[in-house]
Amino acid sequence: MSSFVLSDEILAIYVPILVYWLYSSFYMILGSTKKYRLHSYEEEDQKNLVSKREAIKGVLLQQIVQVIVAFLMFKVSSNHGSSTPTSSTPIIKLAKQFTIAALVFDAWQYFMHRYMHHNRFLYKHVHSYHHRLVAPYAFASQYNHPLEGLLLDTLGGAVSFVVSGMSPRASVFFFSFTTIRGIDVHCGLIVPWNPLHVLFGDQTVHHDMHHQLYGTKYNFSQPFFTFWDRMLGTHMDCTVEKRLGGGFQARPVKSLKS
C-alpha cells in the first residue's frame, strides 16, 4: 500500500498541488505589505469581480479535474517513461526533456490563450472567468472556468509530458516548476531578489498588463518565456514606477490601438 502512495505517478499528481498552496501562501505573506505590490489593497477590492472565497473554490475545482485527468493519463501511459530515480537519468537528457516540455507548454498556452480571446463565445462563457481578476494575486493564479483549466493547463501539461518523453519521476519536478511559474506570473508582486524573477525577466509585469482592460489583446505568453508575443506582434511593452506610499505601478510605454 505504501509503495502505491509514494509511487512517482502519485507524487506527480499531488506534489504540484501541495507546491501551489505553499508557494502562493508565501507570496500572500509578502503581499501583506505594500513594498512589492503592483496593485494597492483598494484596487484589488475595487477591480476584481470575484471574491477570494470564490477564487479558492474555483481553484479547488480545477485541481480536482487536474487530479482525475493526470490519473487517467498515467493509467493509459503506464508503459511511458520510467519510474527510476531522476539521478539515474543523464543530466543532458533531462535538461533536453525539460526544455522541450517548457517550449511545448508555452506554445500550447500562447495559441490556446490567444484563441480564447479572439473567439467571442469562448471568451464570454469560458475565459472571462479568469479575467474577473483585474488585479491578480498568487493563490488565484489557477482560478479559471473548469473547461479552461482542462483545455489550457491540464491538457497542455499532458501534451508536454508525452512529447518530451520524460518519466513520471521527472514530471514531478517539471509540473511543480510549472506551477511555481504560473504563480510568479500572477502574483501581482515585483520581487527583485527572487532568482526566478531575475531569470525570466518581466513576466510578472508582462502578464499583469494582459489582465488590465487596455491589455487584453496583448501579452498572451505564459508561464516561461515571452518570445511568442514578440514574434507575432502581440507584445505590449511597459514601464514600472515606484508608487507613492510603497509598491510599484506598471504603465504601457505608449498608447495602443484597439
**Confidence at residue 1, expressed as pLDDT on a 0 to 100 scale:** 42
Strands 248-252, 238-242: pairing is antiparallel
pTM: 0.88
Rounded to a whole number, what is the distance in angstroms from the first to the last CA of the chain?
58
Which residue in this structure is represented by grid cell 506551477?
Answer: 179
Which among 62, 59, 49 is positioned nearest to 213, based on CA atoms?
Answer: 49
Question: Would the pLDDT of 256 be above 60?
Answer: no
- Residues 38-50: what's their mean pLDDT? 89
165 and 97 in contact (C-beta within 8 Å)? yes
- Residues 168-178: what's their mean pLDDT? 93
pLDDT band at 83 (very low <50, low <70, confident <90, very high): very low
**Confidence at residue 197, expressed as pLDDT on a 0 to 100 scale:** 77
**Confidence at residue 6, expressed as pLDDT on a 0 to 100 scale:** 62
- Residues 194-199: what's their mean pLDDT? 81
Q: CA triplet 54, 55, 56: central angle to 5 degrees? A: 90
For the chain, what percent of residues have pLDDT higher than 70? 90
Question: Would the pLDDT of 39 be above 50?
Answer: yes
Higher pLDDT, 5 or 160: 160
pLDDT band at 84 (very low <50, low <70, confident <90, very high): very low
**Confidence at residue 86, expressed as pLDDT on a 0 to 100 scale:** 46
